């Protein structure tokens, strides 16, 4: 069961603020201001603006923690509050933390390297080696809340958040934990990452029109938009949630993962790996493509991904895909890499709970006119019971999650 969630995104500093912005069709993409982008070919991104670490953590934590870990901790605190979860001495050993990230604390790594070059070894702090590690966000959450179950990182590029949720689901089903705080975080709107992904021709170059830059499933799409953020969900065994009187928000019923084994940045041309992941998730959930009522697509806005994902959905869901809404919330958030899958799962749960399906903004010329990509505006759909959320990443990583309304 999912009993709570929290988020920090370019659209807002909470899950509720993010959802309201999505339903309103508002873009969080703008010219990057936190770093010098003068010499870069790509100067736009989805930044978390106005975030005050002091609202969520002591100064000692914010000084050592990379922004990606700060976002994750803030999202986890919101999720725990949302779930009304109290970490007691009895429950603590049965609560685990799994946080996914594609890039990890890259900003802190780059800054440490700069300090070393400029000022020498004595300028490197004694916690640098641990706070620049991929598991630092999970550790900050565990230490803050006092959880004593397994605490770990998950890194599978753009599928990291979804894989972390899937791993948490497996831990509960295998009896390793009763409660798992699972999600994803990244803060990779950096000079290095914008330059690298830009040079790979993966990013949109609509520098003069940032809000129109991310165009999933549109005929004029030219790449994804690098963004940052975090989302954490509280997953619980049904009997544990019931015993403590928690309110279930949705049931996480299926998870599937695979590898393309094809190329570092391009999806398999026939979508074989993506098909395997989606089929595995549906099989795990005990449903078929005909049962899916909504798809929150990976939908990055790149030429290859959107075409491949459309073909995969047609293959796995059949004619059902032409009768249900399929949307990409990345059109508004940009691509939050490791956080994407977790944020999009939150959006999928909200769609099931409210019937409001968030739009794919900027989809002026749909690449498949027979599919309802929920272009421009939120649509209300009655009777949504089952949703599929896809995450496909560099390196050929694929993950899919299935959730069911309560």
Element (H, E) at 326: strand 326-327
Note if 151 is an active site residue.
no
Secondary structure (3-state) at 22: helix
User: Half-sphere exposure of residue 361, counting CA atoms within 13 Å on the CB side?
Assistant: 21
The distance in angstroms from the start CA to the end CA of the chain is 9
Nearest to 183 by CA among 281, 72, 275, 277: 72
Nearest to 68 by CA among 132, 157, 162: 132
- The answer to whether residues 100 and 152 touch, using CB atoms and an 8 Å cutoff, is no
- Give 220-264 as a 3 state SS string: CCCCECEEEEEEEEEEECHHHHHHCCCCCCEEEEEEEEEECCCCC
CA distances from 289 to 84, 180, 296, 334 (A): 34, 28, 14, 27
Secondary structure (3-state) at 46: strand
- For residue 103, report the phi and psi dihedrals to the nearest 5 degrees: -115, -30
**Residues 389, 402: Cα–Cα separation, whole Å:** 6
366 DSSP β-pair partners: 218
Which two tokens mark 300?
């990055």
Q: Of residues 158, 188, 214, 275, which has the active-site annotation?
A: 158
Distance of CA 86 to the CA centre of its chain: 25
Which two tokens mark 251?
């049931």
Nearest to 75 by CA among 8, 123, 148, 142: 8
**Residues with catalytic roles:** 158
């Amino acid at each position: 069961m999912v009993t709570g969630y929290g988020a920090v995104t370019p659209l807002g500093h909470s899950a509720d603020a993010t959802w309201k912005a999505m339903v309103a069709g508002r873009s969080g993409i703008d010219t990057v201001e936190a770093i010098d982008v003068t010499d870069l070919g790509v100067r736009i991104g989805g930044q978390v603006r106005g975030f005050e670490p002091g609202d969520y953590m002591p100064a000692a934590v914010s000084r050592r923690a990379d922004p990606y870990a700060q976002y994750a901790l803030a999202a986890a605190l919101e999720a725990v509050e949302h779930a009304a979860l109290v970490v007691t001495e009895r429950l603590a050993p049965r609560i685990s933390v799994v946080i996914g990230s594609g890039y990890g604390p890259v900003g802190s790594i780059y800054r440490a390297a700069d300090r070393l070059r400029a000022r020498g070894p004595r300028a490197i702090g004694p916690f640098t080696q641990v706070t620049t590690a991929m598991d630092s966000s999970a550790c900050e959450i565990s230490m803050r809340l006092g959880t004593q179950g397994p605490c770990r990182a998950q890194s599978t590029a753009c599928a990291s958040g979804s894989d972390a949720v899937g791993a948490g689901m497996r831990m509960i089903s295998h009896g390793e934990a009763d409660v798992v705080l699972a999600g994803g975080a990244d803060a990779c709107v950096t000079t290095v990452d914008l330059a690298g992904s830009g040079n790979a021709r993966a990013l949109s170059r609509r520098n003069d029109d940032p809000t129109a830059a991310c165009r999933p499933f549109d005929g004029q799409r030219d790449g994804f938009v690098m963004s940052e953020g975090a989302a954490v969900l509280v997953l619980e065994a049904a009997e544990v949630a019931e015993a403590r009187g928690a309110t279930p928000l949705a049931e996480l019923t299926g998870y599937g993962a695979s590898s393309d084994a094809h190329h570092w940045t391009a999806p398999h041309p026939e979508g074989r790996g993506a098909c395997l992941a989606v089929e595995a998730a549906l099989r795990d959930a005990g449903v078929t493509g005909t049962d899916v009522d909504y798809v929150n697509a990976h939908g990055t806005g790149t030429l290859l991904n959107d075409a491949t994902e459309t073909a995969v959905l047609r293959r796995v869901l059949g004619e059902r895909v032409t009768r249900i809404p399929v949307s990409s919330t990345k059109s508004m958030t940009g691509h939050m890499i490791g956080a994407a899958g977790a944020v999009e799962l939150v959006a999928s749960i909200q769609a099931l709970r409210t019937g409001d399906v968030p739009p794919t903004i900027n989809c002026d010329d749909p690449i498949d006119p027979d599919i309802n990509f929920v272009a421009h505006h939120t649509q209300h759909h009655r009777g949504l019971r089952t949703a599929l959320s896809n995450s496909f990443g560099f390196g050929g990583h694929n993950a899919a999650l299935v959730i069911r309304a309560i």
